[in-house]
A and B are shown apart, each in its own frame.
Chain A
Amino acid sequence: KNQVEQSPQSLIILEGKNCTLQCNYTVSPFSNLRWYKQDTGRGPVSLTIMTFSENTKSNGRYTATLDADTKQSSLHITASQLSDSASYICVVSDLPNNAGNMLTFGGGTRLMVKP
């Protein structure tokens, strides 16, 4: 069964500090991996999408890395801000641009940034 495991489940950091969130997956075959940010009471918003051939992708202060050999991804947040407080969800797809139940969602990491 395809699985996506995220760690830690929750994290508290001080404003201005960096942090790294982890995502391990067992989805096979692999097509792409996305990171979403979900603010409390809102729907998820896409941060990055990476395919098999990409091993790093940045979106402002967010940098995602992918190691398809070890089936691991990380999301690094630089110089955290209070607005980064949210849940971060890792999603893995096993077929390109496919419909239906080909997405496996991780349980998310809840990040709290304190002043």
Chain B
Amino acid sequence: NAGVTQTPKFQVLKTGQSMTLQCAQDMNHEYMSWYRQDPGMGLRLIHYSVGAGITDQGEVPNGYNVSRSTTEDFPLRLLSAAPSQTSVYFCASGQGFYEQYFGPGTRLTVT
């Protein structure tokens, strides 16, 4: 049981490039979410999903897309990277939002 896995662990992008952050969980959780964590700030919700085929926006969705074709996977796509998207990204999953399990994070730098 690997829990929540994220790839890559580190990534450097140039402004305007696109990429996908991968997130997978093997706990059969319905709820999955993406957060970003910036220095001195709390985690902020980007997008979330309550089940396969269902996604919704969080607090800071601009510049990001998500899809949920399977229960296990919840990729986050950066459409056109900007320096303001430099952050640490965490994926989380849970049976509900009562208990969330976080992945190890992806540290993204946009130059």
B contact set with A: CB distance below 8 Å: 4, 31, 40-45, 48, 50, 56, 58-59, 90, 92, 96-105
Contact = CB atoms under 8 A, between A and B. Distances in A.
A88 interface: no
4 shortest interchain CB distances as A-B pairs: A43-B102, A105-B42, A97-B96, A105-B43
Nearest to A6: B42
13 contacts: A4-B42, A32-B98, A43-B4, A43-B103, A49-B99, A89-B42, A96-B98, A99-B31, A99-B97, A100-B50, A101-B48, A105-B42, A107-B42
B40 A93 contact: no
Contacts, number: 61
Given A43-B105, A106-B42, 20 more contacts: A42-B105, A43-B4, A43-B92, A43-B102, A44-B43, A44-B90, A45-B102, A46-B99, A46-B101, A98-B96, A99-B96, A99-B97, A100-B50, A100-B58, A101-B48, A101-B59, A103-B97, A105-B43, A107-B40, A107-B42
